[in-house]
Amino acid sequence: MNDPAAFVREAVDKLRAEIPERAIVAASGGIDSTAAALLAERAVGERAEAVFVDTGLLRAGEVERVEGLFRASGLRFRTVPAEARFLAALKGVSSPELKRRRIGREFISVFEEEAERIGADRLVQGTIAPDWIESGGAGRDTIKTHHNVGGVPRTTRLRLVEPLRDLYKDEVRAVARELKVPDSDRQPFPGPGLAVRVQGALTAERVRRARVANRIVEEEVDRAVAAGTIRRPWQYFAVLLEGRTVGVTGDNRVFGEAVSVRAVESVDAMTATAMILPAELLATISRRVTRELSGEVVRVLLDVTDKPPATIEWE
Ligand code: XMP
């Protein structure tokens, strides 16, 4: 894809043919799905409605940010609060792949209900090339089931429409800039959300810990970027690890959890290089995480692994 304006024109024409009646758009507020939603709106106007699912697995402040973004872009959208059903679907699940499939299934059941409500038979998704390649597309091994690919049950009656399927992240960003999506260079956030940043079984408490740790990493990295200390990493986040570790608070033993901090450089998400953040920034993150999650998280580690052999997210 060399010419984003030409891509947009062709995608809009194609979408008009692919959406004869009504469609809902799976919209997370990320760059991919926001670009897909704007393309669908250009193609069929009010016959497309964006659905934003609050899974309870979003980052701090994400619901307000996404709603603000959609309002600013003039998108027709509806927010569906679904925290309880996602937590219920994930109860006791610690396998990364099972988590991803359960999340995909839950998303689809919300979308089916919403489609029913407005009489839609098409589901527009912002799936991009790495999503289906890593989900085992084109005869490859499944690295991880992206929620919007392998997580979609075969039995859904919604016909999928995926205008960005052949694009890589850097290309989607160019399309998003063409569509005037605010913040087109914002870091990616995976659709399964904090569920894949909490290793092992999820509880509301553990999701909250991951949310606090992710907020601290984002705030401190953003501060260092604004101060000119570092370049903005391609992606930066925290993962709540499985297993417990011994710490001490005051005179007391705490058998708490550990968090790993990860920052990477990448172009297209297919490969990535670990970015070693400055020691001072890491020390600030570590102090804040263990203070703001005092008695809960007692250790902060740094992930220095490239992709491959690791992947970007831990699960
Ligand atoms: P991995 O972890 O596969 O991640 O190296 C590559 C990029 O994709 C994001 N990611 C996802 N995005 N649904 C998404 O929309 C998913 O299921 C998913 N899994 C990973 C990840 O954050 C990184 O930017």
pLDDT tens digit sequence for 202-223: 999 999 999 999 999 999 999 9
Question: Could you report the per-residue pLDDT of 187-198, keeping only the tens digit for each?
Answer: 999 999 999 999
CB 129 within 8 A of CB 1: no
Nearest alpha carbon, ligand 1 atom 11 = 190
> Is this model's pTM higher than 0.75 or not?
yes
Minimum-distance ligand 1 atom for the alpha carbon of 149: 17
CA distance 302 to 275: 10
What's the whole-number mean pLDDT along residues 231-243? Answer: 98
What mean pLDDT value characterizes the chain?
96
Nearest alpha carbon, ligand 1 atom 24 = 188
Question: Measured in angstroms, how far is the CA atom of residue 23 from the centroid of ligand 1?
Answer: 25
Beta strand 77-81 with 235-240 is unpaired
CB 146 within 8 A of CB 19: no
122 lines ligand 1 (CB under 6 A): no
* Listed ranges 35-44, 134-143, 148-157; the one with the highest mean pLDDT: 35-44
Nearest 5°: CA angle at 51, between 112 and 85? 60
CB 148 within 8 A of CB 139: no
Indicate whether 148 pLDDT > 90.
no
Question: Measured in angstroms, how far is the CA atom of residue 40 from the centroid of ligand 1?
Answer: 23
315 lines ligand 1 (CB under 6 A): no
Pocket test for ligand 1, best of 128, 144, 235, 313 (most atoms within 8 A of CB): 313
CB 53 within 8 A of CB 107: yes
235 lines ligand 1 (CB under 6 A): yes
Residues in a beta bridge with 80? 53
Minimum-distance ligand 1 atom for the alpha carbon of 234: 24
Residue type, 306: D
Give percent helix, percent strand, percent coil of the chain, each to the nearest 5: 45, 20, 40
Residue 99 token pair: 């988590």
197 lines ligand 1 (CB under 6 A): no
262 lines ligand 1 (CB under 6 A): no
The residues, ordered by sequence, that sit 6+ positions from 297 with a Cβ below 8 Å of its Cβ are: 209, 213, 240, 256, 257, 258, 259, 289, 290
Which of 209, 187, 182 is CA-nearest to residue 197? Answer: 209
Question: Measured in angstroms, how far is the CA atom of residue 83 from the centroid of ligand 1?
Answer: 21
CB 27 within 8 A of CB 34: yes
DSSP secondary structure code for residue 198 in this structure: B
CA distance 43 to 164: 14
CA distance 286 to 310: 23
Minimum-distance ligand 1 atom for the alpha carbon of 144: 3
312 lines ligand 1 (CB under 6 A): yes
Question: Could you report the per-residue pLDDT of 260-307, keeping only the tens digit for each?
Answer: 999 999 998 999 999 999 999 999 999 999 999 999 999 999 999 999
CB crowding 111-133: b at 16 or more within 10 Å, else e: bbebbeeeebebbbbbbbbbbbb
Cα atoms found within 13 Å of the Cα of residue 270, Cβ hemisphere only: 10
DSSP secondary structure code for residue 153 in this structure: -
Residue reference for tokens 């194609």: 14
188 lines ligand 1 (CB under 6 A): yes
